[in-house]
Amino acid sequence: MTANSYGFDTLAIHAGQEPDPRTGAVVPPIYQTSTYAQDAVGAPRLGYEYSRSGNPTRDSLQECLAAIEGGRRGLAFASGLAAEDTLLRTVCRPGDHVVIPNDAYGGTFRLFSKVAERWGLDWTAAPLQDIDAVRAAFRPGHTRLIWSETPTNPLLNVNDIAQLAGLAHEYDAMLAVDNTFASPYLQQPIALGADVVIHSTTKYLGGHSDVVGGALITADDGFGDELAFHQNAMGGVNGPFDAWLTLRGIKTLGVRMERHCDNAERIVGYLSEHPAVASVLYPGLDTHPGHEVAAKQMSRFGGMVSFRAAGGPEAAIAICNRAKLFVLAESLGGVESLIEHPGQMTHLSAAGSALEVPADLVRLSVGIETVDDLLADLEQALG
């Protein structure tokens, strides 16, 4: 099944998920096995030998991921960072260089600064919404990858995917886009020129805060084969039950994202008028510097909202602590609404660096609850 033949919601429900040929089960089985009986020496049945190398449940998820992102090959991992690490070590060698966002996710920054750098990989942080700054950060012959998030976590900056792809390809480099915040329902980077898409499937794809996972989706079969080799060689795969949970979540991604967006838009309107809020960061606002680019490459503006507290860092922390219906927790993209203080939670690893986030910043993952209840909780939390 491909995006050319079916709509998004049909792909989300059916791609890679044909009824079980043996029993007719509508939902793909969980193949909870580590190994497989072989028909003869050198003749594994249907190519399955060992579940690190291949598992039918994971294969169903991988086929679905490729279909909903409009890619050629999908690969599933134990976490988003396992997917990121596999991508870096497939594309890069010691001595190579990567351009990353100057407001990257804290875990991504930690991977580059504390792990990949020790392996010999160099990197430069740049504001990816400024194409001239990205070009200035390039080291022709050494830069192998532009690493983009759009919208970014947690400042919700927006990068022009097509523009970045053109620059990367001009220098024979690749563009990787972390599409976690938008989800493939709202944005499809491969159609805009990206070479590979990254997901923390823990977030909107899983959608229920009950599974951790990651994914890579490629625009090219050959590059997909290279990543698949490293996926097996490095071994950071997800288990069959995790793959099954993620598939279950994907089935309702479209309807969930519509409610996430509806609720977020109502909350943004409320926060924009509240005296305890200094500014609201949301790509759907006309005043957002990336609004026009977001409107061009996204179908809607997502369920993530950040704002800066008028009372400063202490006020931001107090707001987080007073919330009741908004659960004080890391992560995002689940059906329940979450609130966090990025500076002391998800982005603590960036403290003291050029990627440190403002101390008065609050990030909301707006869920799919009744929006009036969410607004009432924010009213009491803001004080």
Rounded-to-10 torsion of CA 53, 57, 60, 64:
-100
CA distances from 90 to 77, 161, 323 (A): 14, 22, 43
Q: Write out the E strands in 3-158.
A: 38-40, 43-44, 73-77, 97-101, 122-126, 143-149
Say which of 73, 110, 144, 203 is annotated catalytic: 203
Active-site residue, 296 included? no
Give me the catalytic one of 36, 48, 105, 185: 105
Catalytic residue (choose from 59, 96, 103, 178): 178
Tell me the two tokens of residue 247.
């598939």
- Which residue is catalytic, options 52, 72, 266, 322? 52
- Rounded Cα distance, 287 and 276, in Å: 19
41 Cβ neighbours under 8 A, 6+ residues apart: none
Interatomic CA distance for residues 304 and 264, integer angstroms: 7
Q: CA–CA separation, 195 vs 109, rounded Å? A: 21
Are the C-beta atoms of 128 and 146 separated by less than 8 Å? yes
| Annotation marks residue 210 as catalytic | no
From residue 16, alpha-carbon distances to 22, 243, 264, 290 in Å are: 16, 12, 31, 35
Residue 52 annotated in active site: yes
Contacts of 225 (CB under 8 A, 6+ apart): 73
Active site annotation includes 178: yes
89 burial (CB, 10 Å; 0-12 / 13-18 / 19+) is middle
Give the catalytic positions in this structure.
Answer: 52, 105, 178, 203
